[in-house]
């Protein structure tokens, strides 16, 4: 009887070892963008975490292109509303936070880089919050 329980326990243990680990879903562009946004905020002193005010001083949209190693290849202003110093601060915030995590090969889709937009929401005190990190309302 004792041998039978031991054999069952060993079989269960070995059977568990043969089970493959659960599949990890492929990284999406939104997943990657969220990781980049968190890194930018962690590296900057010019951010705020309170709710976004109804009126913003400026909205800056950057197009960020990251290479396969996570280094920014290009950071350009896609949209701004004339506050050049805030546009420059947004670009500098991205560059200063680099390098980022390397994008997964599935995200690169055979290319040497991946591009996405990130929106910087500037308050009157010139601090910013990233749109990717603003909770849904």
Q: What share of the chain is helix, strand, coil (3-state, %, to 5)?
A: 40, 25, 40
What are the C-alpha distances in Å from 109 to residues 26, 49, 115?
12, 34, 12
Instruction: Look at 6-15, 27-36, 93-102 and tell me which has the smallest mean pLDDT.
Output: 6-15
Token pair in block for residue 17: 């070892």
User: Which pLDDT score is estimated for 35?
Assistant: 95
Q: Is the pLDDT of residue 3 over 80?
A: no
pLDDT exceeds cutoff 80 at 21: no
In the structure encoding, which two tokens stand for residue 106, read together? 């599935």
pLDDT score of 102: 94
Mean pLDDT of 102-126: 94
pLDDT confidence of residue 109 = 84
**Res 22: pLDDT:** 55
């Amino acid at each position: 009887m004792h041998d039978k329980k031991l054999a069952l326990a060993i079989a269960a243990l070995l059977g568990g070892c043969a089970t493959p680990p659960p599949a990890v879903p492929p990284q999406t562009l939104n997943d990657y963008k969220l990781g980049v946004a968190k890194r930018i905020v962690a590296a900057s002193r010019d951010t705020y975490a309170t709710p976004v005010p109804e009126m913003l001083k400026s909205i800056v949209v950057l197009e960020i292109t990251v290479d396969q190693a996570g280094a920014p290849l290009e950071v350009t202003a896609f949209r701004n509303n004339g506050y050049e110093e805030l546009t420059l601060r947004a670009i500098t915030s991205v560059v200063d936070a680099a390098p980022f995590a390397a994008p997964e090969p599935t995200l690169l889709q055979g290319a040497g880089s991946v591009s996405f937009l990130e929106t910087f929401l500037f308050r009157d005190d010139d601090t910013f919050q990233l749109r990717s990190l603003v909770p849904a309302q």
